[in-house]
Structure 1
Amino acid sequence: MIIHQFDQTNSILNSFIAEIRDVNIQKDAMRFRRNIERIGEVLAYEMSKTLDYDPKEVTTPLGAKKSFLCSDKLVLCSVLRAGLPLHHGILGYFDGAENAFISAYRNHPNNDDAFEVIVNYFAAPSLDDKILVLTDPMLATGKTLENVLKALKGHGSPKQIHIISVIGSKTGVAKVAETFPQNTQLWIAAVDEGLTSKGYIVPGLGDAGDLSYGGKL
Structure 2
Amino acid sequence: MHIHHLSERPSILNTFISEIRDKTIQKDSMRFRRNIERIGEILGYELSKSLQYNSKTVTTPLGSLQMQLHNKDIVLCSILRAGVPLHNGLLNYFDTAENAFISAYRHHKDNPESFEIVVEYLACPNLENKTLILADPMLATGQSMVATFEALKPFGTPKEIHLVSVIGAQKGIDFVAKTFDINSHLWIAAIDDELSDKGYIIPGLGDAGDLAFGKKLQH
TM range (shorter): over 0.9
1:110-162: CA deviation from partner (whole Å, max 9, x where unpaired): 14211111001111001000000000000000011111111011000000100
SS in 2 for 1:11: coil
SS in 2 for 1:79: strand
| Structure 1 unmatched ranges of 5 or more | none
Q: Which residue of 1 aligns with 2:212?
A: 212
The whole-number CA distance in structure 2 between the counterparts of 1:153 and 1:80 is: 18
Which amino acid letter does the alignment assign opposite residue 25 of structure 1?
Answer: I
Which amino acid letter does the alignment assign opposite residue 81 of structure 1?
Answer: R
SS in 2 for 1:7: helix
Which amino acid letter does the alignment assign opposite residue 190 of structure 2?
Answer: A
The whole-number CA distance in structure 2 between the counterparts of 1:7 and 1:172 is: 18
Shift of 1:168: 0.1
Q: Which residue of 2 aligns with 1:55?
A: 55
Q: Which residue of 1 aligns with 2:27?
A: 27
TM-score by length of 1: 0.98
The whole-number CA distance in structure 2 between the counterparts of 1:50 and 1:170 is: 23
Please tell me whether the aligned partners of residues 51 and 72 of structure 1 are also in contact (alpha carbons under 8 angstroms): no
The whole-number CA distance in structure 2 between the counterparts of 1:154 and 1:58 is: 37
Which amino acid letter does the alignment assign opposite residue 160 of structure 2?
Answer: Q
Aligned residues: 217
| Structure 2 unmatched ranges of 5 or more | none
The whole-number CA distance in structure 2 between the counterparts of 1:4 and 1:59 is: 36
Q: Which residue of 2 aligns with 1:5?
A: 5
The whole-number CA distance in structure 2 between the counterparts of 1:56 and 1:109 is: 55
Please tell me whether the aligned partners of residues 72 and 97 of structure 2 are also in contact (alpha carbons under 8 angstroms): no
Which amino acid letter does the alignment assign opposite residue 151 of structure 1?
Answer: A
Q: Which residue of 2 aligns with 1:92?
A: 92
TM-score by length of 2: 0.98
1:15-41: CA deviation from partner (whole Å, max 9, x where unpaired): 110000000101100000000000000
Corresponding position: 1:109 with 2:99: no
Q: Which residue of 2 aligns with 1:149?
A: 149
Q: Which residue of 1 aligns with 2:198?
A: 198
SS in 2 for 1:20: helix
The whole-number CA distance in structure 2 between the counterparts of 1:169 and 1:180 is: 17
SS in 2 for 1:92: helix
Shift of 1:196: 1.2
The whole-number CA distance in structure 2 between the counterparts of 1:169 and 1:13 is: 18
Shift of 1:58: 1.1
Which amino acid letter does the alignment assign opposite residue 26 of structure 1?
Answer: Q
The whole-number CA distance in structure 2 between the counterparts of 1:147 and 1:88 is: 22
Corresponding position: 1:42 with 2:24: no
Q: Which residue of 2 aligns with 1:127?
A: 127
The whole-number CA distance in structure 1 between the counterparts of 2:114 and 2:58 is: 56
Which amino acid letter does the alignment assign opposite residue 44 of structure 1?
Answer: G
Which amino acid letter does the alignment assign opposite residue 66 of structure 2?
Answer: K
Please tell me whether the aligned partners of residues 73 and 131 of structure 2 are also in contact (alpha carbons under 8 angstroms): yes
